[in-house]
Structure 1
Amino acid sequence: MEKSEAKQVLERAREMWDAQEWLRSAELYEQVLAHYPDEDLSAIWWYDAALAHKFLRNWAKAHELGREAAARSPRGEQDPAFWNLGVAATIQRDWATARDAWEGFGIPMPEGEGEINGAFGPACVRLDTGGEREVVWIQRLCPTRGRVMNVPATKGRRFGEIVVHDGEPTGERRYNGQSVAVFDELLLFESSSLPTLHVTVSAPDASDIDALVTSFFAQDFGAEPASSFHTLCACCSEGRVDWDEANVPTHGGSQSVWLAAPEAEARQLLETWATGDGRGWNGLELFG
C-alpha cells in the first residue's frame, strides 16, 4: 500500500468513526497498520482500532489490538491505551497482561500473580439488564472489577456478583462526606450463588429493621429494605446525589425487604429476628 493510498484509507476510517461504524472503521485502520505498524501516528491508529472493538464488545480483538497500542504508548502517564488494555485483558482473564497494563497506566498492583483481588475502595455501578437500570454499590477488586454489595431489585441480578465496569464516570454519589464515582457496567464477570428472596416484614421501629439487616450481613448475606431504594430520573442519576440528604431513613411499620441468602438460612434468621416484640414476617418467596 502506497502512502498516498494509506492516507485515503485513514480518511475513510475517520469518516466511519464519526458515523459510529465501528467495525468498518477498525477494519480500515487495520488495513493501514498491516503496512505501517510503527509510523509516528501508528499508536493512535492502534488505539482507535482497539477502542472500536471495545465499543463492539469484541473483547478478544480489543485485547489483541490493545496490546499493540500499549506497546507504542508512554508508560506511567495514564495513557488510555493501557486502561483499555487492562479492561480487555481482565475480561479475557489474561491476568499477567492486565497487571502490566494497570502498572503501565500508573496504578500500583498488589504483589503476586494471577487474578487481582485487591482493595481498591468503594464505587457505584449502573447495572443495565434488558433496559432496566439500577445503581448499586460495589467494593472494587481491581481498577475495573467490583463485587456488588447491595441486593439488587432488578430481576436476574444478585448480591455478591462481580461486574466489570467502564472507566469513565457517569455520575457521582456522596456518602459520609466521601465522593464516589458511578460507572456503567460492561458485563457480568462472575455470577453469585446466593438467590434473591422477597419478604414482607413488620416492626415497631426503624431499629428493628436495622437489626434484621445487620443479622443478614453478619452471615455474609444481604438484606435491602424498600426504604433504602430511591427512584431517580436518568438526568439526576447521572449527576451528583448526596446520599446523606437523599437517603430516606429506614422506618418501622410494614414494608418489603429483598434478601440474598439460601431460603433455609433466610427463614431461620427471620424466625430468630421475629422473637423481638412486635416483629413479624410473611410471604417469603423467590424473587425473579
Structure 2
Amino acid sequence: MEKSEARKIVKEAREAWEAQEWLRSAELYEQVLAHYPDEKPSAVWWYDAALAHKFLRNWAKAYELGREAAARSPRGEQDPAFWNLGIAATIQGDWATARDAWEGFGIPMPEGTGEINASFGPACVRLDTGGEREVVWIQRLCPTRGRVMNVPATEGRRFGEIVVHDGEPTGERTFNGQSVSVFDELLLLQASELPTLRVSVNAAAPSDVQALVDSFFARDYGAEPASSFHMLCACCSTGRVDWDTSSTPTHGGSQKVWLAAPEAEARRLLEEWAAAAGRTWGGLQKAN
C-alpha cells in the first residue's frame, strides 16, 4: 500500500469515526496498520481501532488491538491505551495482561498472580439492562471490577453480582463525607446465586428498619428498604448526590423491603427481628 493511499484510508477512518460508524472505522484503520504498524501516528490508529471495538462490545478484538496500542504507548503516564486494555484483558480473563496494563497506566497492583481481588474502595455503578437504569454501590475489586453491595430493584439484577464498569465518571455520590464516582456498567461478569425477595414490614421507628438491614448485612446478605430508593431524573443522576443523608431509612411505619438471601434464611431473620415489640412482617415473595 502506497502512503498516499494509506493517508486517504486514514481520512476515511476518521470520517467514519465522527459518524460513529465504529466497525467501518476500525476496519479501515486495520487496513492501514497491516502495512504501517509502527509509523509515528500508528499508536493512535491502534488505540482508535481498539476503542471502536470497545464501543461495539467486541472484547476479543478490543483486547487484540489494545495490546498493540499499549505496546506503543508510554508507561506510567496514565495513557488511556493501558486502561482500555486493562478492561478488555479483565473481561477476557487474562490476568497477567490486566495486571501489566494497570501498572502501565500507573496504578500499583497487589503482589501475586492471577485474578485481582483487592480492596480498591467504594464506588457506584449505573446498571443498564434493557433501558432501565439504577445506580448501585459497589466494592471495587480492581480498577474496573466491583461487587454490588445494594439489593437492586431492577428486574434480573442481584446483590453480590460482579460487574465490569467503564473508567470515565458519569456522576458523583458521597460516602461518609468522601466523594466517589459513578461509572457506567459495561458487563455483568459474574452472576449472584442469592435470590431477590420482597417483603412488607411494619416498624415503629427508623431504627427498627435499620436493625433489619443490619441483621442481613451481618450475615453477608442484603436488605434495601423502599425508603432508601430515590428516583432521579437523568440530569440529576449524572450530577452529585449526597448519599450520607439520602441513604438512611427515612421513616418507620409500613413499607416494602427488598432482601437478598435464601428464602429460609430470610424467614428466620425476619422472625428474629419481629421478636421485638412494634415490628411485624408479611407477604414474603420472590422478586426475581
Q: Normalized against structure 2, the TM-score is what?
A: 0.99
Map 1:109-148 onto structure 2 (within 5 A): 109-148=109-148
1:237 paired residue number: 237
Separation of aligned partners in 2, 1:89 and 1:275:
50
Q: Counterpart amino acid of 2:30?
A: E
Separation of aligned partners in 2, 1:147 and 1:245:
23
Separation of aligned partners in 1, 2:87 and 2:252:
43
Q: Counterpart amino acid of 2:202?
A: S
Separation of aligned partners in 1, 2:175 and 2:120:
17
Q: CA RMSD in A?
A: 0.8
1:18 paired residue number: 18
Whether the aligned pair in 1 keeps the contact of 2:209 and 2:249 (CA below 8 Å) is no
Deviation at 1:177, TM superposition (A): 1.4
Q: Counterpart amino acid of 2:240?
A: R
1:33 paired residue number: 33
Structure 2: which 5+ runs fail to align?
none
Which is worse superposed, 239-248 or 275-284?
239-248
Separation of aligned partners in 2, 1:67 and 1:256:
48
Corresponding residue SS for 2:278:
coil
Q: Counterpart amino acid of 1:75?
A: R
1:163 paired residue number: 163
Q: Counterpart amino acid of 2:128?
A: D
Whether the aligned pair in 2 keeps the contact of 1:209 and 1:250 (CA below 8 Å) is no
1:259 paired residue number: 259
Number of residue pairs matched?
Answer: 288
Q: Indicate how the Cα distance of structure 1 residues 181 and 207 shifts in structure 2: closer, same or farther if over 3 A, else same.
A: same
Corresponding residue SS for 1:155:
coil
Whether the aligned pair in 1 keeps the contact of 2:70 and 2:85 (CA below 8 Å) is yes
Q: Normalized against structure 1, the TM-score is what?
A: 0.99
Separation of aligned partners in 1, 2:264 and 2:249:
29
Q: Deviations over 1:33-60 (max 9, x none)?
A: 0000000010000000000000000000
Which is worse superposed, 230-239 or 171-180?
171-180
Deviation at 1:237, TM superposition (A): 0.1
- Residue 281 of structure 2 corresponds to residue 277 of structure 1: no
Separation of aligned partners in 1, 2:193 and 2:257:
19
Which is worse superposed, 240-249 or 135-144?
240-249
Separation of aligned partners in 2, 1:69 and 1:262:
46
Separation of aligned partners in 2, 1:38 and 1:65:
13
Q: Indicate how the Cα distance of structure 1 residues 232 and 41 shifts in structure 2: closer, same or farther if over 3 A, else same.
A: same
Q: Counterpart amino acid of 1:186?
A: L
Deviation at 1:252, TM superposition (A): 0.9
Whether the aligned pair in 2 keeps the contact of 1:59 and 1:88 (CA below 8 Å) is yes
Separation of aligned partners in 1, 2:250 and 2:115:
38
Separation of aligned partners in 2, 1:263 and 1:157:
17
Q: Deviations over 1:225-283 (max 9, x none)?
A: 01111000000000111223444643111000000000000000001111110211000
Residue identity over aligned pairs, in percent, reads 81
Corresponding residue SS for 2:87:
helix
Separation of aligned partners in 2, 1:2 and 1:130:
46
Deviation at 1:203, TM superposition (A): 1.2
- Residue 193 of structure 2 corresponds to residue 172 of structure 1: no
Q: Deviations over 1:172-231 (max 9, x none)?
A: 011321000000000100000100000000011111111111110111000000111100
Corresponding residue SS for 2:82:
helix
Q: Deviations over 1:62-104 (max 9, x none)?
A: 0000000000000000000000000000000100000000000
